[in-house]
Amino acid sequence: DTAVSQTPKYLVTQMGNDKSIKCEQNLGHDTMYWYKQDSKKFLKIMFSYNNKELIINETVPNRFSPKSPDKAHLNLHINSLELGDSAVYFCASSQETSGRSMKFFGPGTRLTVL
Amino acid sequence: DAKTTQPNSMESNEEEPVHLPCNHSTISGTDYIHWYRQLPSQGPEYVIHGLTSNVNNRMASLAIAEDRKSSTLILHRATLRDAAVYYCGRGGADGLTFGKGTHLIIQP
């Protein structure tokens, strides 16, 4: 069984479109995250959710909005896509928000904006 | 994270130990030191983490400097499957903040 899954694996779209990426974890974890990996392989945290509450929002444009329908899901909605949004997006989960918790990452969604 | 620095790449021979360094000179007293690795086209995979004491698990060992400003990930006997990008990072209540990663190349 896949612990953290994401759909779709690849997403190609035009500038200006709105798109969503879905994430699900079956680990029973309380915290989920979204990370962005740019073309230089730099991994940067975007959001985290704990018990359906947003607890971090880094310097991410408000075109990006995380939505958590329940504890096992954290979806990422992106409005008015821009060329610079092209990247690989990783969902992750952990048992708690503490720094001692190990994180489990999904396989990633490669977003290409044309 | 600009405050966590790692060498861009390192090379080692198969079946030899590998020591991957990381500097995190501004880490706070409560942040954990984490290491993850990423194989091509996959998500990052947990390797090891610790706070102050050295840690061992089935994958690797983590040696943490006494002042916690640096750490070293030790792969005791590298195999070709260990070729990956290794990320060092700090883990706090705000999640994981990574360095830019070290690309580990293993020569047969």
- Give the nearest partner residue to A99 out of B42, B43, B93, using CB atoms: B93
Give the ranges where B6-72 is alpha helix by DSSP (H): none
| Collapsed DSSP state (helix, strand, coil) of residue A3 | coil
The chain A residue lying nearest B43, using CA atoms, is: A107
| Contacts B100 to A, Cβ<8 Å | 40-42
pLDDT in tens, chain B (108 residues): 558 999 999 999 999 999 999 999 888 888 999 999 999 999 999 999 999 999 999 999 999 999 999 999 999 999 999 999 999 999 987 788 899 999 999 999
Percentages helix, strand, coil for chain A (3-state, rounded to 5) are 5, 55, 40
Contact A33 B45 (CB under 8 A): no
The chain A residue lying nearest B50, using CA atoms, is: A100
Which residues touch B80 (CB under 8 Å, ≥6 apart)? Answer: B14, B106, B108
The chain B residue lying nearest A35, using CA atoms, is: B96
Interface test with A, best of B96, B97, B102 (most A CBs within 10 A): B96
d(CA B47, CA B34): 8
